[in-house]
Amino acid sequence: MVEKLKKTGLQAAPPPALCYAGPGDVACDVCTGTRKQKALMSCLVCLASYCETHLQSHYESPAFKKHKLVKATAQLQEKICSHHDKLLEVYCHTDQQCICYLCTMDEHKGHDTVSAAAERTEKQRQLGMSQQKVQQRFQEREKELKELQQAVESFKVSIVDQRRHTSSLLSCCQRERGAPIQYH
User: Tell me: the pLDDT tens digits for 83-118?
Assistant: 888 889 999 999 999 999 999 999 999 999 999 999
User: Tell me: the pLDDT tens digits for 30-84?
Assistant: 998 888 899 999 988 888 899 998 999 999 899 898 888 888 887 877 888 888 8
The domain segmentation of the chain, as residue ranges, is 18-74, 80-151
CATH 3.30.160.60 fits 80-151, yes or no: yes
CA distance 143 to 104: 50
- How sure is the predictor about 8, in pLDDT bands with cuts at 50, 70 and 90? very low
Q: Is residue 168 over pLDDT 50? A: yes
CB 83 within 8 A of CB 104: no
